Structures are given as structure tokens and as C-alpha cells.
Amino acid sequence: MAKPRVLITDHGFPTLDHEKRILAAAGADLVVAQCKAPEEVLAAARDADALLVQWAPVNAAVIAALTRCKVIVRYGIGVDNVDLAAAKAKGIAVANVPDYGVREVAEHAVALGLALARQLPQIDRRLRGGTWKITPDRPMPAMHDATFATAGFGRIARAAHEMMRGFGGQRIAYDPYVTKEAMAAAGVAKVELDQLFASADILSLHLPLSPETRHFVSAARLTQMKPTAIVVNTARGPLVDTVALAAALQAGTIAGAGIDVYEQEPLEKNHPLLACAGALLTSHVAWYSESSIPRLQQLAAEEVVRGLRGEPLKNQVNK
């Protein structure tokens, strides 16, 4: 009987030692490609029994051409580059790896929010420009008087709330799929959308991307926020209308934005956010630590093995 064939469509990892070890122990052959276009994926993946995908597009045409595939596993949380409906219609399970960098992303979100709340980027630039001043240029609410808010209350949001608990202040969250009792057990008050935007001093986004959540932070929603408020996005880029966000920062509608993910990546060189003094921008690095990469690779490979064996997947997203 032929060995199962597992294709890595693309990757940016230093080594594939974890995948090689885990898949070899499962009796599978590993094939590695660096596909960018759907046609390249189709040519490499046609007879694969499983796919490990980082950024390569696995669209409906690719899925229609797959002859043996049982499972597709995305390296990471988002699955925007995989056509979930087409895979489900063909009986192919799709899974992500949502738990490889929970602490890292939460830490990054909290760090962005705190840095902006304390106006560290602005004060640093002011000092380097030759101005010594012991008070900030804008109002700076104390953290123990502030409201930390999350849109979403999943793994990462809960970790962020736990990190913020020591600062005091109020903690609130919006998530239609989580009960107020579950939030209350973590010391968090459940709120609706209008209250979320109106009350937040730091609003950190932790939502999946869907047609309903695209531009969750819109021009209209930004006008509901306090002029001292800060928006943080370490989740999915299109959750924020970044052009509207830049306009709100320039107008002083809100005070700051900490952004790690963007509607288009890399961020365009002429994007208006780059001209905003209140924006603290990072390059999709929130997930990273020295331990998160090997953890991601190991968990993804283990999920592939479960799929090949017909065992229940830990994180199937197209049931």
C-alpha cells in the first residue's frame, strides 16, 4: 500500500524538522513546495492526501482538482486563504492551529495598548527632538481608572484580560457567543456594541474575519469613541477600516491605534496610517516568540496525522 503523501504548499520556517519527524513516524511521505499562485498549488497538490498550508491560496478550483485529499491544515489561526465551503462540499476537513501563540498575541496586544496609553512613542519622539517636559502633551488617564475592552472573548482575549487584571480598572467585552456568566467568572462585564465603543479606553480586537466583522471598526464606530481612546488590532487586518482609522487619528477623534495586521500586507508605502503620530505600527509579528514557531509546526503536523488516520480533529473549522 502506498504511503500517504503530505504536501507543504508553502512555508517560511527555518527548518521542517518537526514535520519530518512526526510525519515519518506516521508512515507518510513529505513533499515541500513554495507555491504562490493557485495554479502552482493545483499542480503540486493534485494527488496529495493532506495539505499543510501557510499563505498559499487554496481556492475552489484547487479543491475541485484534489483527488485524494482528506485534510487541509493551516499554519496559524486565520483560514482566509482556504475555501472552506468548497472543502466541506468535497468532504475535506479543514483545521487551523488556534492555540500555538495565544500568550504571545495577548502580550503583544496588551503591550501596544499600554505603550499608547502611557504615550511612550510620542514622548520618545519628543525627547529625541530636544524637548524635555515632565508632563505629556495629551490627557493621560490612569490605568486603574480606565476601561479595557475586547471585541471577542476567545482564548487570546481571555489571556489579555488576565494580563490587564493587575492594573485595576474596569474590564468589558463584546461577544454574542459567550454568556455574561462566563465573562463574569473572569471578572469581565458583557456589553453590547454601542457600550463597547463608547466605554473603551483601550479596545483590543479579537474577532474572526467574516462578512459581518469586516470593517468592525468603521468611520461611524470611531465617532462613538472617547477622544482619549486607543484601538488595538492583532487579529485580522480587515476588521479595521484603516483609512477611516487614519482620518480619525489625524482629526483627534481618538488618541491612538496599535496595529499589527492590515487589510493589505505588506502595508502600502503611502498608506495614511504611516503619517499618523498616534499610530504604533508593527509588521504582523504578534504571534512570534522563539517557542511559538516550533509549537505551531508540531501542532499542525499532529493535526495532519489525525486527519490521515480518520481520527477526530482538534480544531476543524468547516464542520
**pLDDT truncated to tens, each residue of the chain (319 aa)?**
689 999 999 999 999 999 999 999 999 999 999 999 999 999 999 999 999 999 999 999 999 999 999 999 999 988 989 999 999 999 999 999 999 999 999 999 999 999 999 999 999 999 999 999 999 999 999 999 999 999 999 999 999 999 999 999 999 999 999 999 999 999 999 999 999 999 999 999 999 999 999 999 999 999 999 999 999 999 999 999 999 999 999 999 999 999 999 999 999 999 999 999 999 999 999 999 999 999 999 999 999 999 999 999 999 999 9
pLDDT for position 206: 98
| Beta-sheet pairing, 5-8 with 50-53 | parallel
> Can you give the pTM of this predicted structure?
0.88
Answer whether 308's CB lies under 8 Å from 70's CB. yes
pLDDT for position 14: 94
The three cell numbers of residue 12 are 517560511
CB neighbour list of residue 115: distance below 8 Å, 6 or more residues apart: 121, 258, 280
Q: Say which of 126, 155, 165, 284 is annotated catalytic.
A: 284
Q: Say which of 265, 268, 309, 311 is annotated catalytic.
A: 265
- Which domains, and CATH codes, for the chain? 5-100+290-309 (3.40.50.720), 102-281 (3.40.50.720)
Q: Is 125 a catalytic residue?
A: no
pLDDT for position 1: 66
CB neighbour list of residue 86: distance below 8 Å, 6 or more residues apart: 59, 60, 63, 64
The three cell numbers of residue 235 are 487579529
- How far apart are the C-alpha atoms of 291 and 278, rounded to whole Å? 31
- How far apart are the C-alpha atoms of 253 and 250, rounded to whole Å? 8
- How far apart are the C-alpha atoms of 100 and 292, rounded to whole Å? 6
The three cell numbers of residue 93 are 476537513
Q: Say which of 158, 171, 236, 271 is annotated catalytic.
A: 236
Q: Is 74 a catalytic residue?
A: no
pLDDT for position 2: 86
The residue ranges of DSSP E strands in 23-119, in sequence order, are 29-32, 50-53, 71-74, 93-95
Q: Is 271 a catalytic residue?
A: no
pLDDT for position 160: 98
